[in-house]
Structure 1
Amino acid sequence: MKKYLLKRFIMSIITLWTIITVTFFLMHSIPGDPFKKEGKMPPAVYENLLKKYGLDKPLHEQYVIYLKNLLRGDFGDSMKSRVETVNDMIRRGFPVSAYLGLEALLIALVFGPTLGALAALYQNKVPDYISMIIAIIGISVPSFIMGTILIQFVAKNVSWLPIGGWGEFKHTLLPALAMSLMPLAYMARLMRSSMLEVLNQDYIKTAKSKGISKAAVILKHAVRNAILPIVSVLGTLISNLLVGSFVIEKIFGIPGLGSFFVKSINNRDYTLIMGTTIFYAIILITMLFLVDIAYMFIDPRIKLTKEGR
């Protein structure tokens, strides 16, 4: 097990380094100048800006300096903000995105597997059809379109529920619901197919033949084993929701990490673009690593298989 974890850790570091390298050189290869939108400026001021951000140095030197700063946890200075660094913006925006993402994740975890289990237990019946219709809608309709639909519906029919802003729990309901539909639908479909497979296993039939109640068989045996595939994809789903949906935050006027990312693109704030991209990569890789470890403890068979490789 230790050998496998060490291997996964090394692969995670290599993956992160690759993302950092590609992001750095890609941003520096984009045509244009981050300071051109500032308007016409004296050459001396322009040279000072280049010097301040290290853009007057050769590209390979900039890369080495950037890596050293990242090792210290420093994402650099924003090229547009004079009062906040990239770290400050991440510290301010990430908690908002994380709170919204956790709320969306909770909705998805409660209703996704539940709908999938009901669909499997009532295969080819009304609950199955309803669950799969919801799943198809959730997968087919992008979250930003669903968010727009919810805004239009609430604006006309639910006066007490705000359609934008931040600060109270009621402000999070609509964006969290819009963000939760895709993972909810994905979990429902995954749970349905996994549950159908588990219900046909011999140990389920054996448990039924021993006189164990249907509820006990479903909860203790079927659901427990059917939910394992969902655990394997939680890393990606959690990281996506924690960082937040950039477009959803823009639509609902939420001051999260996504809003900073959108602004950084519009303003050509290259250090902020790189910082948020790399921060997102760190969250994603970390969650995948942790979920992989958790999966090994939940299902010992996985541990034995991976140790044998």
Structure 2
Amino acid sequence: MMVRFLQGLLVAVGILAGILLISNLDKGIDVISKDQIQIVLLPGGNIHNVINAFPGTAIVDEGAGYISVPAAKKEELERQIGRHKEVQLTLPVVTTPSFNFSRYGEALNVQIKSYLDGDFGVIAYKSRQKPIPITNSLAEMIKRSLSYLLPGLLIGVAVGFLAALLAVWKPKVGKVLDAGQGLLLSLPDFFVVVLLQFAAISVNKLVGSPVIIIMQFVKQTPLLIPMLAISLLPAALIYGTMRIAFEREWEEGYIKTAYSKGLSRPAVIFRHMMRNTMEDFLTIIPRAVSVALTSLVVVEVMANIFGLGGYAVNQSIGYVSSLATTCAILAAFALFVQGLFALLRSRVVVSTKEGA
């Protein structure tokens, strides 16, 4: 048990460390030239007069106004050249991207120090000048996301499991469900959301009023569309897994023994097959949770919902520096579910598994 706990702890630390490393990756990428600047001249200005006034500089592209400067003195010369009487302003020169490990390391140090100081990132709204700490909105964001994540996940689990039971109970219905599951798994997440939004628009037009909210508007948050979008793919995943598990058990010898004792098909399914497929069920749930979290991000982005997954691309937000924080929260939820069901598999399955 202790070994499994340490393994799980290492996995959790590795995932959280990976989020930290990846979220700061862009800070190590250099796209600005270290030894060139662009100058914009005032009317009547001459680039040669500027170059002559600053030793060590040279013209790279006269037409574009590009000049080279010593890399060690770039910032100082850029300020001085910007104050030249014939220069209107100076601009950075975009060059081929390169990765700077030194800058990347500095960014990681700054990020870690910020976390230790209780600064978990900010959200900058286009309508406000001062960025707002993510902690001010985090409780509301978590509450909003969970309001459709948890019910959507529960619906997906229930529908997937019950559909698999129905498929093995009624083989003809199972063929139809198999085709539907294959179709659903072939559709991208965003396309499923689009179909749900289109259906909601059609219902609203038919009824004559907006009975189904499609996009977030101020405090009005969509519930039905995110809940359905989150539930569909986990349901299809669980259905496929349990369908195979039930078919496997159906070929086992104890099924024939149960029939010889006079048990009906439903009795065999509920008394024996469900017990012997418990391990399959507990194994697929964590994967279904991961799929649900992916669907959560997609639906929040497409429905413009200010939740854990969609706030970063919200139209009212200029930029964010808190993606690592919200990604860590979603990862922690997934890790918690993984650990919980790993514990259940070790405790429940052993005590319920029935031999042939």
Taking structure 1 as the reference length, the TM-score comes to: 0.75
Deviation per CA, 1:247-302: give whole Å up to 9, x if none: 312333432122213249x8443x22232233333332332222222221222289
Distance 1:168 1:118, change over 3 A: farther
Q: Which has the higher strand share?
A: 2
Matched, 1:115 2:160: no
Gaps of 5+ in 2: 33-78, 80-101
Partner Cα separation in structure 2 for residue 79 and residue 193 of structure 1: 49
Distance 1:295 1:77, change over 3 A: same
Q: Which residue is 2:339 aligned to?
A: 289
Partner Cα separation in structure 2 for residue 299 and residue 188 of structure 1: 20
Q: Which residue is 1:27 aligned to?
A: 26
Partner Cα separation in structure 1 for residue 116 and residue 337 of structure 2: 20
Q: Identity of counterpart residues, as a percentage?
A: 23
Distance 1:133 1:295, change over 3 A: same
Q: Which residue is 1:129 aligned to?
A: 175
* C-alpha contact (below 8 Å) 2:169/2:265 kept by paired residues: no
Choose from 259, 265, 268 the match for 1:214: 265
Gaps of 5+ in 1: 34-42, 44-56, 303-309
Q: In the alignment, residue 200 of structure 2 is paired with which amino acid?
A: V
Partner Cα separation in structure 2 for residue 296 and residue 72 of structure 1: 39
Matched, 1:164 2:215: yes
Q: In the alignment, residue 258 of structure 1 is paired with which amino acid?
A: G
1:201 deviates by: 1.5
Distance 1:228 1:85, change over 3 A: same
Task: Report matched runs for 1:75-224 at 5 Å.
Answer: 75-78=120-123, 82=130, 84-123=132-171, 125=172, 127-158=173-204, 159=207, 160-165=211-216, 171-224=222-275
Larger of the two Rg values belongs to structure: 2
Distance 1:284 1:30, change over 3 A: farther
Partner Cα separation in structure 2 for residue 68 and residue 216 of structure 1: 61
* C-alpha contact (below 8 Å) 2:142/2:307 kept by paired residues: yes
Distance 1:277 1:70, change over 3 A: same
Q: Which residue is 1:300 aligned to?
A: 350
Which structure has the higher relative contact order (CA within 8 Å, separation 6+)? Answer: 1
Q: Which residue is 2:289 aligned to?
A: 238
Choose from 298, 303, 313 the match for 1:252: 303
Partner Cα separation in structure 1 for residue 293 and residue 227 of structure 2: 11
Q: In the alignment, residue 228 of structure 1 is paired with which amino acid?
A: E
Deviation per CA, 1:23-64: give whole Å up to 9, x if none: 33x13134579xxxxxxxxx9xxxxxxxxxxxxx96434423
Q: Which residue is 1:46 aligned to?
A: none
Partner Cα separation in structure 2 for residue 257 and residue 11 of structure 1: 22
Q: How many residues align?
A: 275
Higher mean displacement: 241-250 or 175-184: 241-250
Partner Cα separation in structure 2 for residue 293 and residue 209 of structure 1: 36
Aligned structure 1 segments of 4 or more residues deviating by more than 6 angstroms: 166-169
Deviation per CA, 1:160-183: give whole Å up to 9, x if none: 3333347679x4122211221111
Q: In the alignment, residue 160 of structure 2 is paired with which amino acid?
A: G
Distance 1:299 1:136, change over 3 A: same
Q: Which residue is 1:37 aligned to?
A: none
The alignment partner of 1:254 has SS state of: coil
The alignment partner of 1:75 has SS state of: coil
Q: Which residue is 2:89 aligned to?
A: none
Choose from 271, 276, 296 the match for 1:225: 276
The alignment yields a C-alpha RMSD, in angstroms, of 3.3
Partner Cα separation in structure 2 for residue 107 and residue 250 of structure 1: 22
Partner Cα separation in structure 2 for residue 252 and residue 10 of structure 1: 36
Partner Cα separation in structure 2 for residue 216 and residue 116 of structure 1: 16
Partner Cα separation in structure 2 for residue 260 and residue 110 of structure 1: 29
Q: Which has the higher helix share?
A: 1
Q: In the alignment, residue 231 of structure 1 is paired with which amino acid?
A: L
Distance 1:139 1:294, change over 3 A: same
Partner Cα separation in structure 1 for residue 350 and residue 123 of structure 2: 47
Partner Cα separation in structure 2 for residue 71 and residue 211 of structure 1: 66
Partner Cα separation in structure 1 for residue 118 and residue 332 of structure 2: 12
1:71 deviates by: 5.8
Taking structure 2 as the reference length, the TM-score comes to: 0.66
The alignment partner of 2:19 has SS state of: helix
* C-alpha contact (below 8 Å) 1:101/1:243 kept by paired residues: no
